[in-house]
Amino acid sequence: MNNTIKIERAKQNITQAKLAEMVGVSRQTINAMELNKYIPSTVLALKISKIFNKNVNELFFLDKTD
């Protein structure tokens, strides 16, 4: 699974640490998601989508091998 979290964070000038605080996870979890090493739960994906005012499908998507 891929995502555009890093891009959205940059657009809104939000650090990994700040986003992590906003959704109740560690900065390392946000980093792992951005590196496509961690697939978030549905609840976490929804929280992140709400912060960026995007649909889940706009932030998270399957790549060709998924």
Question: Could you tell me which of 2, 16, 12 has the C-alpha nearest to residue 56?
Answer: 2
pLDDT, tens digit, for every residue of 10-56?
Answer: 999 999 999 999 999 999 999 999 999 999 999 999 999 999 999 99
| R_g of the chain, CA atoms, integer Å | 11
Question: CB neighbours (10 Å) of residue 5?
Answer: 23
Task: Determine the Cα–Cα distance for residues 62 and 45; give it in Å rounded to an integer.
Answer: 14
pLDDT above 90: residue 65: no
Q: What domains can you pick out in the chain, each with its CATH number?
A: 2-54 (1.10.260.40)
The confidence score (pLDDT) of residue 45 equals 97
pTM for the model stands at: 0.91
Q: Identify the band that residue 66 occupies on the pLDDT scale cut at 50, 70 and 90.
A: low
What lies within 8 Å, CB to CB, of 43 at 6+ separation is none
Task: Determine the Cα–Cα distance for residues 48 and 22; give it in Å rounded to an integer.
Answer: 9
